[in-house]
Amino acid sequence: MSSEAPVGPAQGLDHPGAISLDNVLTIPTASLGRIVGYLGEEQEHMLARAMVLAFNLELPLPGNR
């Protein structure tokens, strides 16, 4: 799906999954718990692309790497 970015063990997670931008909400920093994973440069670009598509932003799409 264009509004998702795949993640998984390579990002420190226990199993494959996806960051979905269809239902984004903000939470206070104090509500965050432990770090469960991280994004590398490739995933950051995929997430930026998904964000542009999910929110119909008028920005150039970040290229796929």
pLDDT along the chain (65 residues), means of 10: 86 93 88 90 88 86 61
Among the listed residues 23, 31, 26, the one whose alpha carbon sits nearest the alpha carbon of residue 4: 23
Among the listed residues 26, 24, 28, 27, the one whose alpha carbon sits nearest the alpha carbon of residue 47: 24
pLDDT of residue 1: 63
Type of residue found at 32: L
Domain ranges of the chain: 4-54
